[in-house]
Structure 1
């Protein structure tokens, strides 16, 4: 990645679900892209994660070259080993999905001498949990203690976070993609349509309509599904190739082996809108044209019909896969890739977070200066 040094080097500490293991979660890909971008801008990074057995068994990046990694097994170990690092950071970022996240966040907001942010990579899920009274990851009181609420979801949700939940500053920080990792490669497509994603029951219903049933109807077509946790009970059509979990370094080859790739959006993210998944950006950067279910706010990221294609039914998918000329397919992919370079790289996201951080630090400096001046006037009212 080309380094674009910031005017000021900052120390960031992240506490996230996982940086070292991408198994069964999309957080790792998002964090890896963001931290690579921050390091390229000259910042110093420490990522802390709970040493969970499921991640220990599937670690695919034990020592990232762009960040220090610290593993901890308990809250007590976290406090004992990393309190000084949290105190010295310019910004401490606590991510959604962290085990005992509310307790971690309460400690961070109390301990940090710089600023503290909550990074919600699952905003619709978080809001649903709050509404149901599940406060294990985040409490309503804790939201207001964070200086910054970073959200994977934009649009109206941001004002909701401030108005209803008391967030001081709710700002979007969408996922991004590193173009040096995700790019086109000369290859003859193996599959007409592919999908990459971890199994959930809800998304499987959409996958049935938008990939498995099209495969049954288009018997000469070739299809692929890659991801973890798919039950053995699923009856895959004969022309669907099912792959186990692919680590991020294998995503590029998978996308480049497809004529089209399918994006499936979780129901809560469709309802909230403005929630682009990282797979959208990865596929677009690889120059693979995307078929996606529609959701509000999509046009803020890609232009439907020109940069991405909407599909609502089995018939839509079969028609797109069978009838789209290669010239049209590749033109759509190229326009989407240009959009990525213009707006959605890891460098863009790192620059955005840096901007937010400097605004917080500058505001804090102004506030301290104001308090100092008021104290001087109180001590010397006559000047």
Structure 2
């Protein structure tokens, strides 16, 4: 079957946290026999910061960020059996959603794939005139990056015909243990772009422990932090490309996961960073969120800190040997239960069930 997938970017992770998710899932779906074309706009300088070139498991079409180019890209939806519009494409999202639905042929499965469901649902609840309300009446299926039962319930309340979470996972061919790299050597590392609904949590969970542990080294990766006042024991790297993520994860004694406000309050939304760090065998320290136990066991496969003081207490007593054991346990767990191969099996079953229902309905 042919999939036309409209998303932010497959080729660049620059200001694009969904890149790892797209790559892992689409590669795994390709191996299950799907022929995929990914359409991404040339926006936010992402094409100047590519992490990968076009892969052999997916055709990539980069279109100009203009209304005419958008409409031309959307017209290709007519050639697909499955038409996917992701959230957060970054250029005229509402117009793109309308256009791909208009061009999708009769009998095609239309999918809204929400990679930031808490934010999208908040917008929909606060804006009854949001175009997505009307679009949900035409969409066959909503898939979400996470969110669990609360997100499924909210989407169905808003009129979605069907909604299922497809969680982040690990691509072991991409994220795996590598040799240590001296430039990433530190006690605790955090990788994340500076975002309004996460900055206060970064202050609490990362910068406060750094101030409390002046004898330890902290490393900050990600874009947007240039004018942020940092403690002397915190070094800022800037954007860290995906090709360097394995070394970034495996070299420090521990790495920190900090959820955005909306993800933490909603729960059941493990970041891609959690799985890629676990895949590299990193010892992960995370802020608390509902549903952690579905993915990793606290205290054995991941360490959970209630606040910045907890992070500091963990780092004061965390011995290298224990950190390595926790990282190894996390890697075993995600390889067994949380790979993109397994996620793609679920997506494949969902797609096939939809078309089987159509066949039954047509025969009645």
Structure with max Cα Rg: 1
Q: Are 2:318 and 1:324 equivalent residues in the alignment?
A: yes
Q: Are 2:127 and 1:133 equivalent residues in the alignment?
A: yes
Output the CA distance in 1 between the equivalents of 2:50 and 2:173.
22
Q: Are 2:355 and 1:361 equivalent residues in the alignment?
A: yes
Output the CA distance in 1 between the equivalents of 2:328 and 2:268.
23
Instruction: Find the counterpart in structure 1 of residue 110 from structure 2.
Output: 116
Equivalent of 2:93 in 101, 112, 123: 101
State the secondary structure of the residue aligned to 2:253.
Answer: strand
Instruction: Find the counterpart in structure 2 of residue 295 from structure 1.
Output: 289
**How far did 1:101 drift?**
2.2
Instruction: Find the counterpart in structure 2 of residue 27 from structure 1.
Output: 18
**How far did 1:82 drift?**
5.3
- Listed as ranges, the matches of 1:294-313 within 5 Å are 294-313=288-307
Output the CA distance in 2 between the equivalents of 1:185 and 1:72.
35
CA contact (8 A) 2:74 2:100 kept: no
**Structure 1 residues 276, 134: closer, same or farther in 2, change over 3 A?**
farther
**Structure 1 residues 22, 77: closer, same or farther in 2, change over 3 A?**
same
**How far did 1:93 drift?**
0.8
Output the CA distance in 2 between the equivalents of 1:169 and 1:179.
30
**How far did 1:185 drift?**
2.2
Structure 2 spans left out of the alignment, 5+ residues: none
**How far did 1:17 drift?**
1.1
CA contact (8 A) 1:207 1:264 kept: yes
State the secondary structure of the residue aligned to 1:65.
Answer: coil
Output the CA distance in 1 between the equivalents of 2:218 and 2:233.
6
Output the CA distance in 2 between the equivalents of 1:100 and 1:39.
28
CA contact (8 A) 2:42 2:63 kept: yes
Equivalent of 1:177 in 165, 170, 183: 170
**How far did 1:48 drift?**
0.5
Q: Are 2:52 and 1:61 equivalent residues in the alignment?
A: yes
**Partner deviation per Cα, 1:288-313 (whole Å, 9 max, x = no partner):** 01111101122211121221111123
Output the CA distance in 1 between the equivalents of 2:267 and 2:122.
14
Output the CA distance in 1 between the equivalents of 2:7 and 2:333.
28
State the secondary structure of the residue aligned to 1:145.
Answer: coil
Output the CA distance in 2 between the equivalents of 1:72 and 1:305.
46
Q: TM-score, normalised by structure 2?
A: 0.92
Structure 1 spans left out of the alignment, 5+ residues: 1-9, 371-383
Output the CA distance in 1 between the equivalents of 2:153 and 2:86.
20
Output the CA distance in 2 between the equivalents of 1:81 and 1:17.
13
**Structure 1 residues 94, 27: closer, same or farther in 2, change over 3 A?**
same
Q: Give the aligned CA root-mean-square deviation in angstroms.
A: 1.9
- Listed as ranges, the matches of 1:267-278 within 5 Å are 267-278=261-272
Instruction: Find the counterpart in structure 2 of residue 3 from structure 1.
Output: none
256-265 vs 213-222, which deviates more? 213-222
Q: TM-score, normalised by structure 1?
A: 0.88
**How far did 1:63 drift?**
1.9
- Listed as ranges, the matches of 1:247-262 within 5 Å are 247-262=241-256
Size of the alignment, in residue pairs?
357
Output the CA distance in 1 between the equivalents of 2:319 and 2:12.
39
Output the CA distance in 2 between the equivalents of 1:231 and 1:129.
30
Q: Are 2:152 and 1:158 equivalent residues in the alignment?
A: yes
Equivalent of 1:149 in 142, 155, 164: 142
State the secondary structure of the residue aligned to 2:187.
Answer: strand
